[in-house]
Structure formats: C-alpha cells, structure tokens
Amino acid sequence: GHVTPARVTQILNLLSLAPDLQEAVLFLPRVDSGKDPVTERDLRPIVKQLDWSTQRRMWKRLAG
C-alpha cells in the first residue's frame, strides 16, 4: 500500500473521535475540485482530546 507507519498512526488516531464525529467525517460531501473543507490535519487537535464533549465543541468550531 505504500503507506508509512506514521500515516497509518494518523489514520488510526481517528478512531479516538466520538462515534458521531466519526460518522460526520465519513459523510462529509465529496470534493471534486478545490480544497477539502476538513482535513486529517485539521482533526489532529480534536483527536488529542479524550473527552467527547470537548471534541464535539471543537468540531462545531471547525465544521461550522
């Protein structure tokens, strides 16, 4: 798959998101051109928060 161990770790960290946020990420609209509105890098600070309520507040600020 040509995926580095660091990238696998970044992706697996997304499992720390609250279930409803995981679902929200999964169902983000497809972007055919231009910039994605939410990137994995945007999610890193949220993933670091273990408290799901804090994650949800951060998500609301990010996703608007």
pLDDT of 64 strictly over 90: no
For residues 59 and 53, give the distance between their C-alpha atoms in angstroms, rounded to a whole number: 10
For residues 7 and 20, give the distance between their C-alpha atoms in angstroms, rounded to a whole number: 23
Report the SS3 class of residue 22: helix
Provide the CB-side half-sphere exposure for 45 (13 A, CA): 9
For 13-63, write each residue's pLDDT tens digit: 999 999 999 999 999 999 999 999 999 999 999 999 999 999 999 999 999
